[in-house]
């Protein structure tokens, strides 16, 4: 008799755990499908989005959102900086600064004059495959 009650209790607990787990999966699927619908509305062209807004004016929850991620593929908006040491290019000192270079090299142990000319925020060449 005691064994039968333990088995029933074990089955009941296992069934409750399975129901909670499946309920969580169903809830997550429902939330994800709603998020996908809003992201689809973001991807719609501007003309079509106005049509959608007029058609869906009764639904206040379906307002198109701004994209959350920045597009890195817009090459026209990227400003390419120019200056000494940009893109990993070599920098040569102007003539007449050799004496200053030698003094700073003896004092600091590195070419501080060239380091002063080169920007700290310089860019490096892009090594990714095209």
Give tens-digit pLDDT for 46-104: 555 565 566 555 555 555 566 667 666 666 666 777 788 788 788 888 888 888 989 98
At residue 109's C-alpha, the angle toward residues 105 and 115, to 5°, is 65
The span from the CA of 11 to the CA of 2, in Å, is: 14
The span from the CA of 115 to the CA of 97, in Å, is: 13
How much is the pTM?
A: 0.34
Lowest mean pLDDT, pick from 15-19, 40-44, 45-49, 70-74: 40-44
Please say if the pLDDT value at position 33 is more than 70: no
Q: What is the pLDDT of residue 111?
A: 86
The span from the CA of 70 to the CA of 18, in Å, is: 40
Structural contact between residues 7 and 13, judged by C-beta atoms closer than 8 angstroms: no
Closest CA to 83 of 111, 110, 113, 120: 120
* Residue the block writes with tokens 């002063």: 116
Say which residue, 113 or 49, is predicted with more confidence. Answer: 113
* CA dihedral (24, 30, 33, 35) positive or negative: negative
* Residue the block writes with tokens 């049509």: 51
Structural contact between residues 49 and 82, judged by C-beta atoms closer than 8 angstroms: no
Say which residue, 43 or 86, is predicted with more confidence. Answer: 86
């Amino acid at each position: 008799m005691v064994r039968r009650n333990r088995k029933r209790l074990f089955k009941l607990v296992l069934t409750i755990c399975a129901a909670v787990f499946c309920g969580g999966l169903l809830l997550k699927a429902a939330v994800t499908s709603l998020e996908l619908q809003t992201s689809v509305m973001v991807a719609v062209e501007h003309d079509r989005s106005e049509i959608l807004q007029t058609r869906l004016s009764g639904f206040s929850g379906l307002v198109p959102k701004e994209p959350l991620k920045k597009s890195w593929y817009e090459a026209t908006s990227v400003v390419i900086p120019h200056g000494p040491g940009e893109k990993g290019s070599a920098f040569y000192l102007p003539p007449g600064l050799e004496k200053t270079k030698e003094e700073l090299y003896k004092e600091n142990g590195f070419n501080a004059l060239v380091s002063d000319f080169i920007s700290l925020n310089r860019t490096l060449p892009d090594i990714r495959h095209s």
